[in-house]
Amino acid sequence: MKTIIVGGGVMGLCTAWALARSGHDVELFEQGPLPNPAASSMDEHRLIRHPYGDHTGYASMIDGAFAAWEALWRDLGQRFYAATGTLVLAGKGADWAQRSAAGLASIGRSMAELALDELPRRFPMLNTADVEHAFWIDSGGVLFAQDIVAGLARNLAKRPTVRIHDFTRVRAVDLERARLTTDAGAVHEGDIVVVAAGAWVGRLLPALGRRLVPSRQVVIYFRLPEKARAAWSKGPMILEKTGDMGLYLVPPAEGRGMKIGDHEFSRRGDPEAGREATADEVQPLLARCRSLLVGFDQWRIDRMKACFYTVTDDERFAVEKHGAKGWVMSPCSGHGFKFGALMGLELARTIASERDPLQHARWAAGLGGA
């Protein structure tokens, strides 16, 4: 069987890896270099964690995601992951932390609520004056995204059943015939075609573009004073929601950058546009950092950037069969990277076994199933 994959981000690469390790032929098309710095997958790191608000289906899938990453580490010969634990904070009436704790409890996994007067001792780098609820869970950590994508690309390039077409933009995809046409006019055919084009899916499949919406998100990398960096390098990831403002904090694990990002989806923007974040875009995030982080006035901005996710209204993934021979794979709603290896393995299994596509779509949407 030959599968054509459009898109060289983590989802496309992991699906190619999963199919190739089972002996299937794969052709993968990426519009830019591989890895592509403009892809949603390309950043120093991404987070993997159990808290998921009301989406208990995804919370219950995290253990499977960890197992899938272990399979990938074995194939790559290197582990691109650092455990940090997960601290979830809420203030000014925000209830995402409480809903996450309740969701985890419903599937038999506990997330401990911390006494507020304990926070300054355990986390002296935080100003917790606005915090109304705090929860801790030992699981969770940092996936080194750029290294993972680069490692996958190297692994696939060595496989005799995989052919990679980088710098090859796709003009049209036929989901009925598993056929695509490149901008240069070349036609390629297979048994199955998988569109994993991230924020560009609407360009190829306009009918789905109304549901799978590009979302421009800003992140800031910081240079910290030496003492603060040493403390944060051993610190946890933080998911924080105060009123309508949400952020996530990625500690500088294993010498990587200190990153803070906006956790609220913008649901706007053009992925072809520039990736420099503007001063206006980052002001709300910086304001929250000033009130949350002790010594923040000594931090210096290293760089600001924008990345693009693909967001559905309900923030559930879309991994669906369309047409007789097509699949659309868009688990990129800002939190999809953590499921990259698992989504690739499961889609490869469904393609190879002809498992019920509707069951697979429900599972990928966090609604049970496969």
Q: What is the pLDDT of residue 293?
A: 97
In order, the DSSP letters of 323-349 are TTTEEEEE--SSS-GGGHHHHHHHHHH
Phi first, then psi: what are they for 163, rounded to 5°? -125, 125
- For 304-363, the pLDDT digits (tens) are 999 888 989 988 999 999 999 999 999 876 678 999 999 999 999 999 997 899 999 999
Q: What is the pLDDT of residue 370?
A: 46
In order, the DSSP letters of 257-305 are -EEEEE-S------TTS--PPPHHHHHHHHHHHHHHBTTGGG-EEEEEE
The three-state secondary structure class of 5 is strand
User: CB–CB of 44/144 below 8 Å?
Assistant: yes
- For 14-51, the pLDDT digits (tens) are 999 999 999 999 999 999 999 998 887 778 999 999 99
- Over pLDDT 90: what percentage of the chain? 85
Q: What is the pLDDT of residue 333?
A: 61
List b or e across 312-349, with b for residues whose CB sees 16 or more CB atoms inside 10 angstroms: beebbbbbbbbeebbbbbbbbbbbbbbbbbbbbbbbbe
Q: What is the pLDDT of residue 328?
A: 97
pLDDT above 50 for 101: yes
In the structure encoding, which two tokens stand for residue 345, read together? 């393995």
Angle at 163 between CA 70 and CA 172, to 5 degrees: 105
Of 38-42, 257-261, 262-266, the one with minimum mean pLDDT is 38-42
Give the separation between CA 352 and CA 331, rounded to whole angstroms: 20
Which domains occur in the chain, in start order? 2-45+146-208+314-364 (3.50.50.60), 81-141+213-311 (3.30.9.10)
Global pTM reads 0.95
